[in-house]
A and B are shown apart, each in its own frame.
Chain A
Amino acid sequence: MISLLNPFLLFLALPITGLLIWAYRKKGDGKRFQFGSLFLLQQIQERSVIRRRFSPPPRFFVELLFLLLTVAALSGVMLRQEESVIVLLFDNSESMGVRRTSGESRLEEGRVLLTEWIADREQRGGAPRYRVFSLAPQPRELSDLPLSASAARTVLSKLSPVAAEEQIEAGLQIAARTLGGEEVVLVSDRAAGEVVFSEGRRFHHLYVGSDTKSDSALPKNIALAGAEYLSSSEAIEVRLYVSETTTPKFSEQEAIVTLSEVSEKDGSIVLKDFRRNRFTFEQSGEHRFRFKNIRDAQSLHIRVQYSHDLLAADNEMWLSIRPHRQRIVLSAESSAEELGLLLGGGKEIRRSPLVLPLPPGEDGSVYISERRVVPLEREEIPPGIHVLPLRKGDTVEEILPVQAAGKLVRAQRGHPVLDYVDLQVTDFGQVSPLIVPEWGEPLLETEAGVIAYIGVPAEKPVVITGFQLFPLRGEATPFSTIFFLNAMKWITTYLPDERKEWRPGGPLPERFSARQALSFATSSDQALQQVGERLPLERSVLVSPARDDVEGEIHFFSPQESSLSPPPLGGQRFSEGSAASPEQERPLLPYLLLLILVLLAGDLVASSLSLRYRGEAA
């Protein structure tokens, strides 16, 4: 069966053949007679010019064959046998990029499964051809023509997850409409919907997901699960979480916990280590130990170091120890309007009269006053990120115009634990639920709450204020908290120093002094606010609204762990939102052939042109 990639190019054969015939007629059959001067003969040309039969030499046919073959090559003529066609639907959505503890992603697992399936199918004979479709962001065929098994494997090897949802149903419908598709193979971590295939077609679903393999081995990780100040005993109890049980060497069972005093000097944070303990663990799970003789009214920084730790993001914690048992940051009489919480998609947030009880635990826990806030529409604020605008002054006289910050992006491809939200493109009032795999949850249990604020006034710098940790109360920490913690941690760690114009713990710079700073964080059912005071000592940062300094890469974890440009899963990496396509690898051969054709035609024409006579006008 003959097929053509570019059938319209076959029309080139007609003018090319005509051109060649014209050139040969002009050129003649090669018998030439040198004449002194032709001008006398030209005068009698009209009556005696040869009307010859066209009898080209053999060279003509060779050249014609060459040209026609060139045209055929340009047209992409292909000869293939009648064969069965198998439709391969490959889910390349973002969820397929989730990696197992072994480091293998679902996409890689699916690729292996599909490759094995193809190998089995090849062994059954028939030499079927494959039409490969990717399912995200839209179902699209990755090649213009059905592929061989090896070509299909090559195409599959270039697939990478894209930040979009898969379109399984649409893909199946395309497969149902695809002519010649006798078998349909779906590779996905999601269940396929109901698709009715015509008779004679077989459907295979190669399922990849968390339930297809048992995750027996968790990554080695030590995390600070929490820290509490025990005022009665003047001690800090640190809780560590160890994720792995078996370690081959004794040296791998030892971590170092360091306690540093946080102070401000010349406008910058200074950490002064004053306690360091070695911590030996033999079992996974939670471990507790105490630092004694710790006075209150200070800010501390706790970090744990473990040489084989796979996730460094959860290894530190900031702790503010206040002399008072409860620190009321938000006045009970303050209205929601005064708090500047009225903006954002009609979600009016109102402070609730309900005062939550103090968390159970030791006396003197690090705790900041909290108030329940609920929207006027009785709509609970879902967990996630809430971005609110800054205000001028203490009253709600003028709300600074806010600048749309873009869209939510979940694009942390290949990260072993978490998705993340790009702060630079997060919209105001936007709630960004984070998707965390089940097996990653134990790691998330280890972190603490956070107060954070992100505001983007128009034509003003983005202000991201600091965060305040508070210990867990025995329940799962919201993912958004983890996110905020790590986001702030990254920003304060990796942002260039010159961008840290706003010194943490100090007043706002003069040009921002008229502006009231807010801190805000949410969990599943509570909000924490801070108004009208100097921000906590912990960390603050000022970044440019141009976003140029953090646009390229945003690491909420360590760069090694969560690079925005992870190495490709295999083969060529494609741009986000697109899938591998042979069109991007169009070979140069057709263009070279076209060039040869043009040159040849030009040569034929040039050789047929007559020169002017001596004395004739040019």
Chain B
Amino acid sequence: MFEILEPHALRQLESLQLRSQRKFLGSRQGGNVSLRRGHGIEFADYRRYELGDDPRHIDWGVYGRTDRLYVKQFQEEQDITVYCLLDGSASMHHPAEDRKFQKAAELALGVLYIALAHHDQVSLVIPGETVFGPRAGVALIHELAELCEGVGPIAAEKSEEGFSHFLHTVQYPGVCLFISDFLFPLPHVQHTFESLYSNNLDVIAIQVVGAHDENPGLSREEAIFVDSETGAELPLRWSPSVAEEYRYRFEVHQAAVRELAAKYQIRFFSCGSAQGVLPFFSETLAGSGVLRT
């Protein structure tokens, strides 16, 4: 059971709204400013009156000043499509005590609920496991929660195939929430960001960082380190110096991922696995403008 689906949490989420950096053409009426000009609240521009225009849109004040007929144009508000890419690879499930995938799922469900509450269409994709939507309707949140439950570690190859399949099946541009630990080589991170960017998506990347990702907390010992995703083995003597260097390289990797995100105009956030979801929404995401109250 996800805490984010508690009634009080949902009420808080309903007060938030997802903001996109870019404007998209929606398919129906919604709460997001669209590229389409038409009926709306937000003034967009003036245009010379043409035969057939509704006389009610004529700005008579301008006519009085210029003796010419102009009509006011407004930005139409339409829905958007919110894609949520939830990384279900083995590293998201390891170590189990970090509960990284659980945290990532709660983040995904929170954002998706916010979108559903504002009549946007949502799509949940767990590469290699699940492809859902795009569909709209608040009631879908429980179906989405069920999809997130019971997801086990997904093989690296399968996850890659799922991601490629997602890129090929994106129909509508929109907001893409990409939740992962981003613990894979930088070239692949770059490839992922570049692919999402080239699909005309407004990408929001949220990195879920487990406590053991930053500090494995190993004692001084020799062991065979086994990659949870590939099964590759590496005999290594763990020592403070190795631990320090690992932390250094982890930070370097984090910085590099952020830099890549900035390069592809991706809003990048880190969320600790022990961090609360609602505070992360209300403070981090709302504070950065991703969400608005």
Which residues from chain A sit less than 8 Å from chain B, CB to CB?
26-28, 30-45, 48-50, 52, 610-616
A30 / chain B contacts, CB cutoff of 8 Å:
224
Interface string of B217-251 (1 = CB under 8 A from A): 01001111111111111111101011001100110
The answer to whether B222 and A35 touch across the interface, beta carbons within 8 angstroms, is: no
A28 / chain B contacts, CB cutoff of 8 Å:
224, 233, 235
The answer to whether A41 and B226 touch across the interface, beta carbons within 8 angstroms, is: no
Asked whether B17 is an interface residue with its Cβ less than 8 Å from the other chain, the reply is: no
In the complex, how many angstroms separate the beta carbon of A28 from the nearest chain B beta carbon? 4
The answer to whether B230 and A613 touch across the interface, beta carbons within 8 angstroms, is: yes
B181 / chain A contacts, CB cutoff of 8 Å:
36-37
B250 / chain A contacts, CB cutoff of 8 Å:
40
The answer to whether B236 and A41 touch across the interface, beta carbons within 8 angstroms, is: yes
The answer to whether B246 and A614 touch across the interface, beta carbons within 8 angstroms, is: no
Per the bound structure, the CA–CA distance linking A32 and B89 in Å amounts to 20
The answer to whether A40 and B228 touch across the interface, beta carbons within 8 angstroms, is: no
The answer to whether B236 and A39 touch across the interface, beta carbons within 8 angstroms, is: no
Asked whether B279 is an interface residue with its Cβ less than 8 Å from the other chain, the reply is: no
A39 / chain B contacts, CB cutoff of 8 Å:
183-185, 227
Per the bound structure, the CA–CA distance linking A40 and B244 in Å amounts to 12
The answer to whether B184 and A41 touch across the interface, beta carbons within 8 angstroms, is: no
Asked whether B135 is an interface residue with its Cβ less than 8 Å from the other chain, the reply is: no
Given contacts A34-B226, A40-B253, A50-B222, 12 further A-B contacts (CB under 8 A): A27-B224, A32-B233, A33-B218, A33-B226, A36-B90, A36-B212, A41-B234, A42-B234, A44-B245, A49-B235, A614-B160, A615-B187
Q: A36-B212, A36-B213, A39-B184 are in contact. Are A611 and B228 (CB under 8 A)?
A: no
- Those of B111-157 within 8 Å (CB) of chain A: 156-157
In the complex, how many angstroms separate the beta carbon of A84 from the nearest chain B beta carbon? 59
In the complex, how many angstroms separate the beta carbon of A497 from the nearest chain B beta carbon? 75
The answer to whether B249 and A614 touch across the interface, beta carbons within 8 angstroms, is: no
CB-contact partner of A610 in B160, B216, B218, B232, under 8 A: B232
Asked whether B32 is an interface residue with its Cβ less than 8 Å from the other chain, the reply is: no
The answer to whether B239 and A48 touch across the interface, beta carbons within 8 angstroms, is: yes
Per the bound structure, the CA–CA distance linking A36 and B232 in Å amounts to 11
CB-contact partner of B237 in A38, A48, A613, under 8 A: A48
Q: A41-B234, A610-B233 are in contact. Are A616 and B185 (CB under 8 A)?
A: yes
The answer to whether A32 and B226 touch across the interface, beta carbons within 8 angstroms, is: yes
Q: For A27, A44, A615, which residue has the most chain B Cβ atoms within 10 angstroms?
A: A615
A611 / chain B contacts, CB cutoff of 8 Å:
230-232
In the complex, how many angstroms separate the beta carbon of B27 from the nearest chain A beta carbon? 34
Q: Which residue of A lies closest to B98 (CB)?
A: A36
Interface residues contributed by chain B, number (CB under 8 Å): 46
Which residues from chain B sit less than 8 Å from chain A, CB to CB?
89-91, 94-95, 156-157, 159-160, 181, 183-185, 187-188, 191, 210, 212-213, 216, 218, 221-237, 239, 241-242, 245-246, 249-250, 253
A31 / chain B contacts, CB cutoff of 8 Å:
221-224
A36 / chain B contacts, CB cutoff of 8 Å:
90-91, 94-95, 181, 183, 210, 212-213, 228-229
The answer to whether A615 and B160 touch across the interface, beta carbons within 8 angstroms, is: yes
B216 / chain A contacts, CB cutoff of 8 Å:
35
The 10 tightest CB contacts between A and B, nearest first, are A615-B188, A614-B156, A38-B227, A36-B91, A37-B183, A33-B223, A28-B224, A50-B235, A611-B230, A610-B232
CB-contact partner of B242 in A27, A44, A612, under 8 A: A44
A616 / chain B contacts, CB cutoff of 8 Å:
185, 188
Q: Which residue of B lies closest to A618 (CB)?
A: B157
Q: Which residue of A lies closest to B92 (CB)?
A: A36
Per the bound structure, the CA–CA distance linking A33 and B236 in Å amounts to 10
The answer to whether B232 and A34 touch across the interface, beta carbons within 8 angstroms, is: no
B222 / chain A contacts, CB cutoff of 8 Å:
31, 50, 52
In the complex, how many angstroms separate the beta carbon of A508 from the nearest chain B beta carbon? 84
The answer to whether A44 and B246 touch across the interface, beta carbons within 8 angstroms, is: yes
A37 / chain B contacts, CB cutoff of 8 Å:
91, 181, 183-184, 227-229
B156 / chain A contacts, CB cutoff of 8 Å:
613-615
In the complex, how many angstroms separate the beta carbon of A43 from the nearest chain B beta carbon? 6
B239 / chain A contacts, CB cutoff of 8 Å:
48
Per the bound structure, the CA–CA distance linking A49 and B223 in Å amounts to 10
In the complex, how many angstroms separate the beta carbon of B40 from the nearest chain A beta carbon? 43
The answer to whether A35 and B225 touch across the interface, beta carbons within 8 angstroms, is: yes
In the complex, how many angstroms separate the beta carbon of A616 from the nearest chain B beta carbon? 7
A-B contact list, 21 entries, CB within 8 Å: A27-B233, A28-B233, A28-B235, A32-B223, A35-B216, A35-B226, A36-B210, A37-B184, A38-B225, A39-B227, A44-B249, A48-B241, A610-B232, A611-B232, A612-B230, A613-B184, A613-B232, A614-B89, A614-B184, A614-B188, A616-B185
The answer to whether A613 and B223 touch across the interface, beta carbons within 8 angstroms, is: no
In the complex, how many angstroms separate the beta carbon of B236 from the nearest chain A beta carbon? 6
B227 / chain A contacts, CB cutoff of 8 Å:
35, 37-39, 613
Q: A41-B236, A52-B235, A615-B184 are in contact. Are A35 and B228 (CB under 8 A)?
A: yes
In the complex, how many angstroms separate the beta carbon of A51 from the nearest chain B beta carbon? 9
Q: Which residue of B lies closest to A42 (CB)?
A: B234
A45 / chain B contacts, CB cutoff of 8 Å:
234, 236
In the complex, how many angstroms separate the beta carbon of B128 from the nearest chain A beta carbon? 11
Per the bound structure, the CA–CA distance linking A525 and B237 in Å amounts to 105
Q: A34-B94, A36-B213 are in contact. Are A615 and B235 (CB under 8 A)?
A: no
Q: Which residue of A lies closest to B190 (CB)?
A: A615
B241 / chain A contacts, CB cutoff of 8 Å:
48
Q: Which residue of B lies closest to A617 (CB)?
A: B187
In the complex, how many angstroms separate the beta carbon of A34 from the nearest chain B beta carbon? 5
Q: Which residue of A lies closest to B250 (CB)?
A: A40
Q: For B91, B95, B185, which residue has the most chain A Cβ atoms within 10 angstroms?
A: B185
A42 / chain B contacts, CB cutoff of 8 Å:
234
Per the bound structure, the CA–CA distance linking A39 and B229 in Å amounts to 11
Per the bound structure, the CA–CA distance linking A43 and B252 in Å amounts to 12
Q: Which residue of A lies closest to B183 (CB)?
A: A37
